[in-house]
Amino acid sequence: MRIDILTLFPESFSYLNSSILKRAQENGLLEINLIDIRDFSLDKHKKCDDYPFGGGAGMLMSAQPIYDAIKSVQDDNSFIVFPSPSGEKFNVDIAKELSKKEHLIFICGHYEGIDQRIIDIFSPLEVSIGDYVLTGGELPTMVIVDCLSRFIDGVISRESLLEESFSSNNLEYPQYTRPADFKGYKVPEVLLSGNHAEIERYRKEQSELITKKRRPDLLEKIKN
């Protein structure tokens, strides 16, 4: 999959070039390009924002640089995403859908937002990562790219995907690694027993307890 990220702040994306996503790119499973929207500004000072018509707080990103940046990467297989607090709520189902696309273009808004005509012209998928407002679309873009990348074949192991939180509408059980005793805090006996049926039963029980306590809404979702 190819992902083109259009942003005024390409330097903020180093996270996508570390750890698991770095390896995915080295293995050719994923190609992530950062495109600096400022490079497309036709203004002599490379200006990319302006005051909103009708007044109001702050600045808006102008249509022209974003339009030309999109046109420079868009082809027939492109799917455009615009992270925005006004979008539909991002979740694992959206991540799975996005992971099947051949080419994704992310538009990172900043300041008070972007000129509505970009949305009218390109009809991007608008998604929010939660009920709070961030200063720009850069962090949400990283969240969405990280999450969808895990569903691309070969990026992480199949087992990791199956066991994790939300794949079964349950939160994940607690995990431990060596040593078995850390400052007097002991790993639950059952995990040292080698009895796989018992271990599985214990984990399922823990999973359900934690979900009941923290996210009862997830259990409601299974019933309905």
Residues making contact with ligand 6GU (CB under 6 A): 83-85, 128-130, 132-134, 136-137, 140
**Three-class DSSP category at 201:** helix
Omega before 188 cis (within 30°)? no
Q: Could you give phi then psi for residue 128, rounded to 5 degrees?
A: -110, 145
Nearest approach in angstroms of CB 141 to ligand 6GU is 8
DSSP character string of 86-132: EEEEP-HHHHHHHHT-SEEEEE--BTT-B-HHHHHHH-PEEEESSSS
Residue type, 33: N
In the bound state with ligand 6GU, the residue whose beta carbon lies nearer, of 65 and 87, is 87
Cβ-based nearer residue to ligand 6GU, 58 or 188: 58
Nearer to ligand 6GU, 31 or 88 (CB): 88
Give me the least distance between CB of 88 and ligand 6GU, in Å please. Answer: 10
Nearer to ligand 6GU, 130 or 174 (CB): 130
Residue with Cβ nearer ligand 6GU (65 or 109): 109
Least distance from ligand 6GU to the Cβ atom of residue 106, Å = 10
* Distance in angstroms (rounded) separating the CA atoms of residues 20 and 24: 6
Min separation Cβ 32 and ligand 6GU, Å = 18
Concatenating the DSSP letter of every residue in 29-54 gives: S-EEEEEEGGGG--STT---EEPPTT
Identify which of residues 92 and 156 has a Cβ nearer to ligand 6GU in the complex.
Answer: 92
- Minimum Å distance from CB 133 to ligand 6GU? 5
Cβ at position 124, least distance to ligand 6GU in Å: 12
Alpha-carbon torsion (45, 46, 49, 50), positive or negative: positive
- In angstroms, the CA 217 to CA 190 distance is 29
